[in-house]
A and B are shown apart, each in its own frame.
Chain A
Amino acid sequence: MRALCWEGVNKLSVEQVPEPEIRNDQDVLVRLLLSTTCGSDLHIIGGYIPAMRPGDVIGHEFVGEVVETGSGVRRHRVGDRVVVCSFIGCGRCWYCRNDMWSLCDNTNTNPGIGQALFGYETAGIFGYSHAMGGIRGSHAEYVRVPFADYGAFPVPEGVDDLSALFASDAVPTGWMGADLGGVRPGDVVAVWGCGAVGQMAARASVIKGAERVICIDRHTERLAMAETYTGAETIDYTSTDVAAELRTRTGGRGPDVCIEAVGMEAHSNGPGYLYDQAKHQLRLQTDRPTAVRQAIHACRKGGTVFVLGVFAGAVDKFPLGMVVNKGLTLRGAQMHGQRYIPMLLERIAAGEISTAHLATHTMSLDRAAKGYDMFKHKRDGCVRAVFHP
């Protein structure tokens, strides 16, 4: 079958690879209908996330059709149309039972690598390096889904493939930022980054009753999308002093909740960006925490900063003094999708959450390398490139 493979730093190509097989009784095999790029993929493509091998299939956000089930599968049948959570959870360890699915104890097949990097390993994730299990990704014709009874969800009637696709990762990730960030009615929420995850975090904040939601980015088309589809206000950081503008819009208090949806390759227009970029390129720090610093600086006293963006390792000039002296709550997590996906599919079906607009470019899997190039450089207003096999 065809699959998009990582062949080295900034090298992707569509290759012929063997079809996946059922390996465990609780697996299903899924024929891909759609699979999409994610900003976090850029970190592995660029070599910032270690533990990739040439030939690894990438991709983790997808919708498909069940074509084979293992003998232990109870909730799915051949022919089911399913959206699959990007993180794999066994459903029965302490973390899964407590709705912290991305921390599952039993789905990372390479726990020693994850423990060397983070102290304790994460759950397994599709197509996201051998540190996170080395599991084949979804930019392919078929993918094996372990523990499918817990990670694959039927797509409701009336929800098309494109709308369901983003319930695999972007929508639950954004929702989690608002939920675990503790957004409450009346709050003012600031969201750094207007990609798919940032937009979904903004929409979740609006639905949860935030009185004002303010999105920050530099791409005018993404800012326009955030205004149109999420109900948020926006700030273009290339033409506005973000910290001053946030103070003005919040009566001098600062936002109650700040959600960072940018990640380890952040941009900004200040001298700090040049500093971070230089240290990053020289491998003197593994991540550029520009947006995290801004969020911590801007957040009101006693407020919450939630880091949704993907970070891999160590950062420099982290303002710990601001966290302590302002009494901030600082949280972060990878996505506990199984906790939210059924509820989010209902909201998508009811029209409360729009997602299809995120798919700005749809193309054949054969053009996936080109799609990632467009996505990385945000050419032609690309927010997400979507591949169909």
Chain B
Amino acid sequence: MNHLARTALVLAGAGAGAAALHGAATARRRARENGRRWLVVTIDRAPTDVMPHGGPPHPLDEFGDALEITVRPAPGDRGTELAARLREPAPPASASPPSRLAGKDPRQEVRRALREAKSLLEAGEVMLPDAPPTGRGDTAGGRAVGLASKRAGGEGVL
């Protein structure tokens, strides 16, 4: 191998290493940011309906002091933006796919509570899935869809 080729290999290796380090740092930074990110729903009701006694609506009230809550009027007469986040940020590892599949990301419960609060305030009830279910988990696909459905109420883009 001549000198030029050796130099190219070293540079390529260094470049790949730097890219990997940068990628890992970016992922850690995003995980930290997401841990502090407000989770928000827009509720088609006035702020006074959303926080009637100055406290959060049900079921967010069940979190007590564990949550920070803010409300503000939504633009365009679209109701109220209700935001919540954990006062103690979840550890970045809780946002990993295995942790989320296992239902161990505490933000899943916050998302679910925000959605339920919105539905209660707007529609008067939280629509439940059919029972008893008829879908089965006796295939790999069926099990995967079953697990996804189990977590779907606490997942998504909130």
Q: Is the CB of B149 within 8 A of A144?
A: no
Contact of B153 among A54, A91, A110 (CB under 8 A): A110
Given contacts A5-B134, A18-B132, 20 further A-B pairs with CB under 8 A are A18-B134, A23-B131, A24-B126, A52-B141, A53-B141, A53-B146, A54-B139, A55-B142, A56-B134, A88-B127, A92-B122, A105-B118, A109-B129, A111-B155, A112-B151, A116-B156, A121-B156, A133-B129, A146-B127, A147-B127
Q: Is the CB of A24 within 8 A of B128?
A: yes
Known: A105-B118, A112-B155. A134 touches B129 (CB 8 A): yes
Scan A28-54; emit 1 where CB is below 8 A from any B CB, else 0.
Answer: 000000000000000000000011111
Complex-state Cα separation, A261 to B115, whole angstroms = 34
CB contacts (< 8 Å) of A120 on chain B: these are: 157
Scan A122-138; emit 1 where CB is below 8 A from any B CB, else 0.
Answer: 00100000100111100
Q: Is the CB of B127 within 8 A of A24?
A: yes
Known: A94-B42, A130-B145. A115 touches B135 (CB 8 A): no
CB contacts (< 8 Å) of B78 on chain A: these are: 94
Complex-state Cα separation, A18 to B134, whole angstroms = 8
Q: Is the CB of B127 within 8 A of A55?
A: no
B20 within 8 Å of A (CB atoms): no
CB contacts (< 8 Å) of B153 on chain A: these are: 109-112
Complex-state Cα separation, A8 to B136, whole angstroms = 11
Complex-state Cα separation, A116 to B125, whole angstroms = 25
B41 → A minimal CB distance (Å): 8
Complex-state Cα separation, A136 to B132, whole angstroms = 10
Contact of B157 among A110, A115, A135 (CB under 8 A): A115
A251 within 8 Å of B (CB atoms): no
9 examples of A-B residue contacts, CB within 8 angstroms: A3-B134, A20-B130, A21-B131, A53-B135, A53-B145, A109-B129, A115-B157, A130-B145, A147-B127
CB contacts (< 8 Å) of A93 on chain B: these are: 44, 118, 122-123
A119 within 8 Å of B (CB atoms): yes
A106 within 8 Å of B (CB atoms): yes
- Counting chain B CB atoms within 10 Å of each CB, the highest count among A52, A54, A135 belongs to A54
Residue ID in chain B nearest A133 by CB atoms:
B129
Q: Is the CB of A106 within 8 A of B123?
A: yes
Known: A105-B122, A112-B154, A119-B157. A94 touches B134 (CB 8 A): no
- Counting chain B CB atoms within 10 Å of each CB, the highest count among A21, A92, A111 belongs to A111
A159 within 8 Å of B (CB atoms): no
Complex-state Cα separation, A25 to B118, whole angstroms = 17
A244 within 8 Å of B (CB atoms): no
Complex-state Cα separation, A110 to B152, whole angstroms = 5
Dominant SS at the A interface? loop
Dominant SS at the B interface? loop
Residue ID in chain A nearest B44 by CB atoms:
A94
Complex-state Cα separation, A52 to B137, whole angstroms = 10
Scan A143-166; emit 1 where CB is below 8 A from any B CB, else 0.
Answer: 010110000000000000000000
Q: Is the CB of B136 within 8 A of A51?
A: no
B72 → A minimal CB distance (Å): 16
B89 within 8 Å of A (CB atoms): no
Q: Is the CB of B127 within 8 A of A107?
A: yes
CB contacts (< 8 Å) of B14 on chain A: these are: none
- Counting chain A CB atoms within 10 Å of each CB, the highest count among B134, B149, B156 belongs to B134
Known: A52-B145, A94-B44, A112-B148. A26 touches B124 (CB 8 A): yes
Q: Is the CB of A134 within 8 A of B135?
A: yes
CB contacts (< 8 Å) of B65 on chain A: these are: none
Q: Is the CB of B156 within 8 A of A112?
A: yes
Q: Is the CB of B122 within 8 A of A72?
A: no
Residue ID in chain B nearest A57 by CB atoms:
B134
Complex-state Cα separation, A3 to B138, whole angstroms = 19
Q: Is the CB of B155 within 8 A of A116?
A: yes
Q: Is the CB of A23 within 8 A of B124?
A: no
Q: Is the CB of B142 within 8 A of A97?
A: no
B139 → A minimal CB distance (Å): 6
Complex-state Cα separation, A53 to B125, whole angstroms = 27
A121 → B minimal CB distance (Å): 7
Q: Is the CB of A144 within 8 A of B157?
A: no
Complex-state Cα separation, A368 to B30, whole angstroms = 51
A113 within 8 Å of B (CB atoms): yes
Residue ID in chain A nearest B121 by CB atoms:
A92
Q: Is the CB of A51 within 8 A of B146?
A: no
